[in-house]
């Protein structure tokens, strides 16, 4: 039987319609001071952009070293152009970082939402962030949750805050009449292009009521140029999760097809290229799995709501999560042909041209091979200076330069399509066993 995970919302189903009752003046204070809680890949660039538009921004993070560094005008994360903007806004006195929230007109929450070992959303950071702003909340304030969250989170946030601040009215129970406004506005940025995407991307502004959505739109309108679609908080929460579940399911199809093609003895990239000549078919590229901190995680937030009704989402996760082990097993089988196999591992990052190893299938494959001790691993990852903890200190694993690794290897495993690998020496590969999990050789050939 289908059960809803939270009570039905009391507000209008779509906020693109005018509100049932006129909003009272709760949100009509001038927007001058913004408090951004969580200064990571999402929060810090957002705080810097808000400050660059002349707003007074308090950035909050638990990490004292990050706070200190930001107050020196330097970012603790790598993102193009962020240091430049940060230095300017800190020097102008528009952005200040702190370990504690302060009074503001609006609070943006951008703290992590990982999964638990049981594949459920771990919302402790969001709950802690809400608890930390509760003492400084006052009538007319807006709270926006940006962290990727299960459907119903904004309603639960209102209930949590009501418990902490019974003196204030929240919009879940007092739509259009609340003291504090609340919205859910998901983020869709691509690391490496964050500043441009924060400005250009379309946004979903999901209010607990219409007044909340309008006020949240005011905040983003200070720097965002993309389309802004007003919605309910539930619609916004669900849309964000649907985006990443959609991508995961589509990658899973490509990955399953690649397994099928391998079994059938046909080349998956050729098959996909031909299938995509159909005007309404667009199969994605297969790979060694799915990595990063969003796509392998967010689909579980949808699945947890109605597990019995979402077998496709769970199956896609299983296909994509199972891919690294398949690749490792294949390399292991091929290594059995050599007495002392030397294996070049090309790429450790979760996607091309980044240094991010979070949830990386390539790293999982390398770790699996290292655990089995089936030979020497010559790891090539041009975007890192040292081996990650999972591989460091192992006698059979070395971080190696690209050309030297290919020259010395018996097996070349291409795990990430970094641009720097495109000019691989094909003549040298002719005498190697090659496992190309990303179709790099195909891509380079066809271009």
- Tell which one of 60, 342, 346, 377 touches ligand NAD (CB under 6 A): 60
Site for ligand NAD in 219-248 (CB under 6 A): none
Alpha helices in 289-360 (DSSP H): 298-303, 311-335
> What does 107-158 look like in DSSP terms, one character per residue?
EEE-----B-TTS-B--HHHHHHHHHHGGG--TT-EEEE-S---TTHHHHHH
Closest residue to ligand NAD, based on beta-carbon distance: 40
Residues annotated as catalytic are 240, 294
Under the criterion CB under 6 A, does residue 191 sit at the interface with ligand NAD? yes
Tokens of 137: 């909340």
Quickly tell me which residue has 């041209």 as its tokens.
Answer: 353
Angstrom distance (rounded) from CA 420 to CA 405: 14
Cα→Cα distances 138→128, 133, 166, 176, Å:
18, 10, 12, 17
Tokens of 5: 């995970």
Site for ligand NAD in 131-160 (CB under 6 A): 132, 146-148
Under the criterion CB under 6 A, does residue 195 sit at the interface with ligand NAD? no
Tokens of 3: 């059960």
| For ligand NAD, the closer CB: 111 or 214 | 111
Quickly tell me which residue has 């418990």 as its tokens.
Answer: 163
**Any bridge partners for residue 435, and if so which?**
413
Q: Which stretch binds ligand NAD (CB under 6 A): 89-97, 155-163, 182-190, 339-347?
A: 182-190
Angstrom distance (rounded) from CA 235 to CA 13: 9
Angstrom distance (rounded) from CA 242 to CA 175: 26
- The CB density around residue 136, as the number of other CB atoms within 10 Å, is 15
| For ligand NAD, the closer CB: 92 or 128 | 128
Site for ligand NAD in 291-350 (CB under 6 A): 294
**Any bridge partners for residue 74, and if so which?**
none
Q: Which stretch binds ligand NAD (CB under 6 A): 133-141, 183-191, 214-222, 270-278?
A: 183-191
Under the criterion CB under 6 A, does residue 40 sit at the interface with ligand NAD? yes
| For ligand NAD, the closer CB: 15 or 75 | 75
Asked if 331 and 409 count as a contact pair (C-beta separation under 8 A), the reply is no
Q: Smallest Cα–Cα separation from 231: which of 209, 246, 198? A: 209
Under the criterion CB under 6 A, does residue 125 sit at the interface with ligand NAD? yes
Cα→Cα distances 107→68, 85, 313, Å:
21, 21, 33
Radius of gyration of the chain (CA): 24
- Tell which one of 23, 26, 42, 440 touches ligand NAD (CB under 6 A): 42
CB of 300 to ligand NAD, least distance (A): 12
Under the criterion CB under 6 A, does residue 43 sit at the interface with ligand NAD? yes
**In the sheet where 106-109 sits, what is the strand order?**
95-98, 56-60, 33-37, 106-109, 142-145, 181-184, 203-207, 228-232
Binding mask 65-94 toward ligand NAD (x if CB under 6 A, else -) reads: -x----------------------------
CB of 67 to ligand NAD, least distance (A): 9
The helix/strand/coil state of 244 is: helix
Site for ligand NAD in 347-386 (CB under 6 A): none
| For ligand NAD, the closer CB: 295 or 440 | 295
| For ligand NAD, the closer CB: 15 or 39 | 39
Under the criterion CB under 6 A, does residue 39 sit at the interface with ligand NAD? yes
| For ligand NAD, the closer CB: 97 or 369 | 97
Binding mask 95-124 toward ligand NAD (x if CB under 6 A, else -) reads: ---------------xxxx-----------
Q: What is the DSSP letter of 288?
A: S
* Site of interaction with ligand NAD (CB under 6 A): 37-43, 60-63, 66, 110-113, 125, 128-129, 132, 146-148, 187-189, 191, 294
């Amino acid at each position: 039987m289908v059960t809803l995970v939270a009570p039905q919302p009391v507000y209008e189903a779509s906020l693109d319609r005018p509100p049932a009752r006129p909003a009272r003046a709760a949100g009509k204070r001038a927007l001058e001071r913004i408090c951004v809680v969580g200064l990571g890949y999402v929060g810090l660039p957002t705080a810097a952009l808000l400050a660059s538009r002349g707003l007074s921004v308090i950035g909050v993070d638990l990490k004292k070293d990050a706070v200190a560094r930001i107050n020196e005008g330097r970012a603790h994360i790598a993102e193009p152009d962020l240091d430049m903007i940060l230095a300017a806004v800190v020097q102008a006195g528009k952005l200040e970082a702190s370990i504690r929230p302060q009074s503001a007109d609006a609070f943006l929450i951008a703290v992590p939402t990982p999964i638990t070992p049981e594949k459920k959303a771990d919302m402790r950071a969001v709950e802690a962030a809400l608890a930390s702003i509760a003492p400084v909340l006052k009538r007319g304030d807006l709270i926006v949750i940006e962290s990727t969250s299960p459907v119903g989170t904004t309603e639960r946030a209102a209930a949590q805050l009501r418990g902490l601040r019974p003196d204030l009215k929240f919009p879940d129970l007092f739509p259009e009449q609340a003291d504090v406004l609340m919205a859910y506005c998901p983020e869709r940025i691509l690391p490496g292009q964050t500043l441009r995407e924060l400005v250009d991307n379309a946004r979903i502004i999901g209010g607990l009521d219409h007044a909340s959505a309008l006020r949240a739109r005011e905040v983003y309108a200070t720097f965002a140029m993309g389309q802004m679609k007003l919605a309910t908080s539930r619609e916004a929460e669900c849309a964000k999760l649907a985006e990443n579940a959609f991508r995961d399911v589509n990658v899973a199809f490509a990955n399953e097809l690649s397994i099928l093609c391998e079994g059938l003895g046909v080349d998956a990239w050729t098959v996909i290229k031909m299938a995509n000549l159909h005007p309404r078919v667009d199969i994605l590229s297969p790979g060694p799995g799915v990595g990063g901190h969003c796509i392998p995680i967010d689909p579980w937030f949808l699945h947890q709501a109605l597990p019995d009704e979402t077998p496709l989402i769970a199956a896609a996760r299983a296909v994509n999560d199972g891919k690294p082990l398949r690749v490792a097993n294949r390399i292991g089988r091929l290594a059995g042909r050599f007495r002392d196999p030397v294996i070049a591992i090309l790429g450790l990052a979760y996607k091309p041209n980044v240094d991010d190893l979070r949830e990386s299938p390539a790293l999982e494959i390398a770790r699996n091979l290292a655990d089995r001790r089936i030979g020497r691993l010559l790891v090539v990852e041009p975007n890192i200076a040292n081996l990650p903890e999972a591989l460091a200190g192992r006698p059979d694993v070395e971080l190696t330069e690209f050309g030297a690794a290919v020259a010395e290897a018996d097996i070349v495993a291409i795990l990430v399509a970094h641009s720097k690998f495109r000019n691989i020496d094909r003549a040298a590969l002719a005498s190697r066993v090659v496992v190309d999990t990303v179709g790099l050789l195909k891509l380079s050939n066809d271009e």
